[in-house]
């Protein structure tokens, strides 16, 4: 009898779930977005699963829903899932994109999927796996068989994860983007014919359809770039276009004289680089533009509605005429309506006032926030102690990260000189940041941001030259994305002589928290150092590590790399999600590259510091 009752209960539960998960229809027809047979206006916000702890996904979706949105857009980061050639990870950490999409559906949001393969997004290498650069004959984002075979494998793997989540299969995914801002790339790569560019974009678009994506497609570009970026069969949308008349005019031109009209990237904030001011966009201006779109029936997607954090080594980099690299901050706060830690801002409230209806839910409670007055650092271990346990790679010349089969982190280059040499050291192939030592004494700091590639050096008889190089993130936007190798990528020159022969290279990927259990404190000021400490908590909560008294490096909390810090600012704190802390004992490891003085403690505070610019602290010496 009990067994029969249990079977009946399961049957009723399945029926209830089936009724609750009503299958929807979505199409682009007669100049409109049509959901379940009715015209709709899309009010979407961009939010990326990889930049938010999995434990907080639901809270952030609830924040979006309470702001009045009906959809979420997300890029898919190819390199976040193909962790090694042919090795796919859609489960660990924040990588379960299917769960992310299902959670959005449970919270009443539709999903706009942006699979790239190129995504930009201020993300490492624009989303490309670093090892693509090692494939003979491959040119990324180009019409060549090696690259197209890789994109096909990526799309196939992704489709396997999300096929049941397409609106055509009862899921929340209503639209998929073909390529990304491709018109911009055509404008940047005039060395390639437009015809060849279009062969490529058509090929990857066809791949999306071939693997099974069967929902409406769209493209996104600046309104002046549609001729190069639009794809037949995909709705063109205009990024950053605030002029409604211009938007309608250009969409009509490339979409058969009709809409629907959408701004796929409406910027309520902007991206941030180290050593540069934190850009701000006023709540008043964002609200005013939002109302303009609402009144004109324009659909939109806030990029970003919630930025989150570039944990680990996931941040990318840009460049300009003054800087060979402009590395992106660890924080991806973006001055977005929902702050990095998930808080409602003045901008959030202004938008909510415009979008809310009687059915709009209340704003969720803020996650608990704590401060830790002092975390004592009980070990200070010279990086050399770790380096000495690594078997070096020896070569006639310095090898790049890629030649060393290393994607991220650091490489220690070392050479013993049997004869003295002095003069100008030239590291024109430095990518991106180096500290130079002679016999353990710091000589100079060189880096690509300040275009500082040389210094005076004096190497005595029987001395050792050490150059510790950091990859600060591969280029994510622009023509130079195809030149994204890291480390020392051209000859080392001293006093006009190319230094060859017997270079030792020690890979330090820092992909896991260094194990210092058996290490002894032996650090000295001026040497790169690993600090370790433990702290105990009676209550968990979000917090912000205060790094204002530090130089440059990375921080691990309970084994998780929470990102880079650099004294130049404007970011001076690192966000620590409370869900990654523990009641009881917690462990912290800090790798401090500059280590101008020995540290004994670090603290956390309850509010972030993202606008404290100290560029003079990064000037290479």
* Residues that are catalytic: 181, 265
Q: Are 128 and 140 in contact (CB under 8 A)?
A: yes
d(Cα 211, Cα 214) in Å, to the nearest integer? 9
Q: Are 205 and 178 in contact (CB under 8 A)?
A: yes
Q: Are 245 and 295 in contact (CB under 8 A)?
A: no
What residue has token string 């000037």? 619
What residue has token string 């999409």? 101
| Residue 288 structure tokens | 């005013």
19 exposure class (CB count in 10 Å sphere: 0-12, 13-18, 19+): exposed
Between β-strands 487-488 and 410-417, what pairing exists: parallel, antiparallel or unpaired?
unpaired
Q: Could you tell me which residues are beta bridge partners of residue 113?
A: 74, 176
DSSP per residue over 40-85, as a string?
E--EEEE--GGGS-GGGHHHHHHHHHHHT--EEEEE--HHHHEEET
HSE, side-chain direction, 13 A CA sphere, residue 28: 23
DSSP per residue over 421-489, as a string?
EEEEEE-TTEESEEEEEETTEEEEEEETTTTB-EEEEEE-TTEEEEEEEE----B-SSGGGG----EE-
Q: Are 371 and 603 in contact (CB under 8 A)?
A: yes
d(Cα 310, Cα 287) in Å, to the nearest integer? 27
What residue has token string 């209340």? 362
Strand residues in 272-362 grouped as ranges (E):
299-302, 317-318, 326-327
Mapping DSSP onto H, E and C, the string for 399-414 reads CECCCCCCCCCEEEEE
Alpha-carbon distances of 422 from 9, 284, 333, 466, rounded to whole Å: 83, 59, 46, 15
Q: Are 50 and 77 in contact (CB under 8 A)?
A: yes
| Residue 603 structure tokens | 């603290």
Q: How many helices (H) and strands (E) does the chain have?
A: 12, 35
Q: Are 607 and 576 in contact (CB under 8 A)?
A: no
Q: Cα 327 to the chain's mean position, in Å?
A: 11
Alpha helices (H) along 534-589: none
Cβ atoms within 10 Å, residue 615: 16
């Amino acid at each position: 009898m009990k067994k029969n009752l249990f079977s009946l209960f399961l049957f009723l539960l399945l029926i209830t779930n089936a009724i609750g998960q009503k299958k929807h229809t979505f199409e682009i027809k007669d100049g409109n977005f049509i959901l379940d047979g009715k015209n709709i206006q899309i009010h979407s916000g961009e939010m990326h699963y990889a930049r938010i702890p999995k434990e907080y996904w639901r809270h952030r979706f609830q924040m979006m829903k309470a702001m009045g949105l009906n959809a979420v857009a997300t890029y898919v980061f190819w390199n976040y899932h193909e962790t090694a050639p042919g090795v796919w990870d859609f489960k660990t950490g924040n990588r379960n994109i299917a769960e992310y999409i299902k959670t959005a559906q449970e919270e009443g949001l539709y999903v706009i999927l942006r699979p790239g393969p190129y995504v930009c997004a201020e993300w490492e290498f624009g989303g490309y796996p670093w090892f693509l650069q090692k494939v003979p004959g491959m040119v990324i984002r180009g019409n060549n068989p090696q690259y197209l075979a890789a994109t096909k494998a990526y799309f196939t793997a992704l489709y396997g994860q999300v096929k049941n989540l397409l609106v055509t299969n009862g899921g929340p995914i209503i639209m998929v983007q073909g390529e990304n801002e491709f018109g911009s790339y055509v404008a940047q790569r005039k060395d390639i014919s437009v015809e060849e560019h279009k062969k490529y974009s058509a090929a990857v678009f066809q791949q999306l359809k071939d693997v099974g994506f069967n929902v409406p497609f769209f493209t996104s570009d600046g309104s002046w770039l549609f001729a190069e970026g639009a794809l037949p069969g995909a709705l063109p949308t205009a990024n950053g276009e605030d002029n409604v008349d211009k938007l309608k005019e250009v969409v009509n031109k490339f979409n058969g004289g009709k809409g629907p009209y959408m701004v796929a990237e409406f910027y309520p904030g902007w991206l941030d680089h180290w050593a540069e001011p934190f850009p701000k966009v006023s709540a008043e201006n964002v609200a005013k533009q939002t109302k303009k779109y609402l009144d004109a029936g324009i659909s939109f997607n806030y990029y970003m509605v919630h930025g989150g954090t570039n944990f680990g080594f996931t941040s990318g980099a840009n460049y300009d005429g003054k800087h060979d690299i402009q590395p992106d901050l660890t924080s991806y706060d973006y001055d977005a309506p929902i702050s990095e830690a998930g808080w409602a801002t003045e901008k959030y409230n202004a938008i909510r006032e415009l979008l809310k209806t009687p059915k709009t839910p209340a704003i969720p409670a803020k996650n608990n926030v704590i401060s830790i007055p002092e975390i004592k650092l009980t070990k200070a271990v010279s990086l050399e102690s770790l380096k000495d346990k690594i078997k070096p790679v020896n070569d006639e010349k310095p090898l790049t990260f890629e030649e060393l089969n290393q994607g991220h982190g650091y490489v220690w280059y070392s050479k013993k000189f049997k004869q003295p040499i002095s003069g100008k050291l030239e590291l024109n192939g430095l990518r991106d940041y180096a500290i130079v030592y002679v016999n353990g004494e710091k000589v100079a700091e060189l880096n690509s941001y300040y275009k500082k590639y040389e210094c005076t050096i004096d190497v005595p008889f029987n001395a050792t030259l050490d150059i510790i190089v950091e990859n600060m993130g591969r280029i994510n936007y622009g023509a130079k994305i195809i030149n994204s190798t890291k480390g020392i990528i051209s000859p080392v020159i001293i006093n006009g002589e190319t230094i060859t022969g017997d270079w030792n290279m020690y890979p330090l990927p820092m992909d896991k928290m260094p194990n210092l259990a058996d290490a002894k404190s032996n650090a000295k000021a001026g040497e790169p150092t690993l600090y370790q400490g433990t702290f105990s908590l009676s209550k968990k909560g979000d917090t912000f590590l205060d790094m204002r008294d530090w130089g440059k490096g990375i921080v691990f909390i309970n084994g998780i790399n929470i990102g880079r810090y650099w004294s130049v600012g404007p970011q001076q704190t690192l966000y620590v999600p409370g869900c990654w802390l523990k009641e009881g004992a917690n462990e912290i490891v800090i790798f401090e590259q500059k280590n101008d003085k020995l540290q004994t403690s670090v603290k956390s505070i309850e509010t972030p510091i993202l606008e404290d610019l100290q560029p003079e602290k990064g000037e290479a010496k």
